[in-house]
């Protein structure tokens, strides 16, 4: 009953598969999802457990370093390919896909774009293969969107920086129930002030560094339960000077160069949720009858299905067009990367909500998938930038 239905063809147009390589990538991931991801999704959601073994298989498929140049062990693909991967994985298991995004976009792509040659050659092959798991640590217990308010500090003492502070809501912050920390974490910290403003710097923290540990695994989340979320603690953490990314004070530059691909892939996750929810509505409306007629013959149900289809298509065009125009090595279109996440994430949640309404009582239980999609969808309106932050950014950019 929870089988991933793909009878509704919503992705057969050139905008979504502009080259044969993109088409083959989508087909490969969809086959993998049906065979490997879908059968385990409900179990791992209920157990609040990250499927590390399955995650490592994404490395075998070349997905963990999807945007990384081949010279460093990646697949050398473009932002469109990243969008395809996130839509297809999220259509089955958004929680698992979020762990993938935190690794492949927030850590791996970040390092590929902003790291030094030595850092890239040493670390990227490990995280592209799946041998090592990466995370990104920005949010703190008292600060989220307000990154300049972060309290974590780093002070250079001899050949090491001494890192102190706590990071909160970190996807992949731990990788198992035992609280094992991620192998590599991309950490932002304050290294002083300049012109009266905090100077933020970026550090590559590695498992085994003294003073780096998991504070707690965050449990009982509403959704995205198949990805691990944790608090990270840095208590006089010793970070070698060579693990500074770029120069002191360059974090804002790093953030801006990676923010667009982060937000467009989060929007792609919402597309996957929306598409799967629409498929569930169509399938159920054909199979279920009321008053002697199939559900799809009733106007109320027709409205849910028709509006969801039109909104999904419109949003997909916006997301894929934005990805098509995106460059991985430079910021240049924050307006639309904010725009696609603003519109797609709420759309994904709303279409999942409609699917529950169409399925009625069956939609309200986990066995029929849309309940899980609905719970997972809410996080996308918060993580990677809140809706309110996108509204502020878009308005500010437009009035300039």
> In angstroms, what CA-CA distances link 122 with 32, 50, 71, 222, 271?
29, 26, 12, 37, 35
Q: What is the pTM of this model?
A: 0.94
State the helix-helix crossing angle for 94-101 and 79-90, rounded to 10 degrees: 150
**Half-sphere exposure (Cβ direction) of 237: Cα atoms closer than 13 Å:** 27
CATH of the domain spanning 20-133: 1.10.540.10
Per-residue confidence in pLDDT tens, the chain, 400 aa: 344 444 455 444 578 999 999 999 999 999 999 999 999 999 999 999 999 999 999 999 999 999 999 999 999 999 999 999 999 999 999 999 999 999 999 999 999 999 999 999 999 999 999 999 999 999 999 887 777 889 999 999 999 999 999 999 999 999 998 999 999 999 999 999 888 888 999 999 999 999 999 999 999 999 999 999 999 999 999 999 999 999 999 998 898 889 999 999 999 999 999 999 999 999 999 999 999 999 999 999 999 999 999 999 999 999 999 999 998 877 678 899 999 999 999 999 999 999 999 999 999 998 889 999 999 999 999 999 999 999 999 999 999 8
Q: Where in the chain is the domain with CATH 2.40.110.10?
A: 135-251
CB 184 within 8 A of CB 137: no
Class of 252-399 in CATH? mainly alpha
Residue 292 gets the label, from left (phi > 0), alpha (psi -120 to 50) or beta, of: left
- In CATH terms, 135-251 corresponds, of 3.40.50.12280, 3.40.50.300, 2.40.110.10, 2.40.30.270, to 2.40.110.10
Could you tell me how many helices (H) and strands (E) the chain has, helices first?
12, 10
- Catalytic positions, please? 262
Q: CB burial class (10 A; 0-12, 13-18, 19+) of residue 96?
A: buried
- Helices 334-359, 370-379: axis angle to 10 degrees equals 150
Identify the helix (H) or strand (E) that includes residue 216: strand 212-217
β-strand partners of 4:
none
- 227: Cα within 13 Å, side-chain hemisphere: 26
Task: Please state the separation of Cα 278 from the chain's center in Å.
Answer: 21
Q: Return residue ranges of the chain for CATH 1.20.140.10.
A: 252-399
Q: Where are the beta strands (DSSP E) in 248-359?
A: 289-290, 293-294
134-137 vs 184-194, strand pairing mode: parallel
H runs (alpha helix) in 288-331: 299-324
211 backbone φψ class: left, alpha, beta (φ>0; ψ -120 to 50): left
Through-space distance between the first and last CA atoms of the chain, rounded to whole angstroms:
51
CA distance 356 to 352: 6
């Amino acid at each position: 009953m929870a089988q991933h239905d793909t009878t509704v063809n919503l992705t057969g147009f050139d905008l979504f598969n502009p080259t044969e390589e993109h088409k083959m990538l989508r087909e490969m991931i969809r086959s993998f999802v049906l065979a490997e991801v879908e059968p385990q999704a409900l179990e791992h959601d209920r157990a609040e457990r990250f499927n590390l073994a399955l995650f490592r298989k994404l490395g075998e498929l070349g997905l963990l370093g999807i945007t990384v140049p081949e010279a460093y062990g990646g697949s050398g693909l473009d932002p469109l390919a990243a969008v395809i991967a996130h839509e297809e994985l999220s259509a089955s298991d958004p929680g698992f896909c979020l762990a993938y995004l935190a690794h492949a976009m927030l850590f791996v792509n970040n390092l590929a774009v902003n790291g030094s040659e030595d850092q890239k050659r040493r670390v990227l092959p490990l995280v592209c293969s799946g041998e090592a798991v990466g995370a990104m640590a920005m949010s703190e217990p008292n600060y989220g969107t307000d990154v300049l308010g972060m309290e974590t500090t780093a002070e250079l003492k001899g050949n090491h920086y001494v890192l102190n502070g706590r990071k909160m809501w970190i996807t992949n912050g731990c990788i198992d129930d035992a609280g094992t920390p991620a192998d590599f974490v991309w950490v932002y910290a304050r290294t002083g002030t300049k012109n009266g403003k905090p100077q933020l710097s970026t550090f590559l923290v590695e498992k085994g560094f003294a003073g780096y540990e998991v504070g707690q695994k965050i449990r009982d989340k509403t959704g995205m339960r198949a990805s691990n979320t944790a608090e990270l603690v840095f208590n006089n953490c010793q970070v070698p000077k060579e693990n500074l990314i770029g120069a002191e004070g360059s974090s804002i530059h790093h953030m801006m160069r990676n923010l667009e691909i982060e937000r467009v892939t989060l929007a792609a996750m919402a597309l996957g949720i929306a598409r799967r929810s629409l498929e569930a509505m169509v399938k159920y409306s054909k199979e279920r009858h009321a008053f002697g007629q199939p559900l799809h013959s009733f106007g109320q149900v027709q409205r849910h299905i028709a509006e969801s289809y039109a909104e999904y298509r419109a949003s997909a065009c916006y997301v894929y067009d934005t990805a098509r125009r995106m460059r991985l090595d430079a910021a240049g279109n924050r307006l639309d990367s904010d725009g696609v996440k603003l519109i797609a994430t709420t759309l994904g949640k709303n279409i999942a909500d409609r699917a529950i309404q169409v399925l009625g009582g069956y939609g309200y239980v986990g066995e029929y998938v849309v309940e899980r999609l609905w719970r997972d969808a809410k996080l996308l309106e918060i993580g990677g930038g809140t809706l309110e932050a996108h509204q502020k950014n878009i308005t500010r950019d437009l009035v300039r």
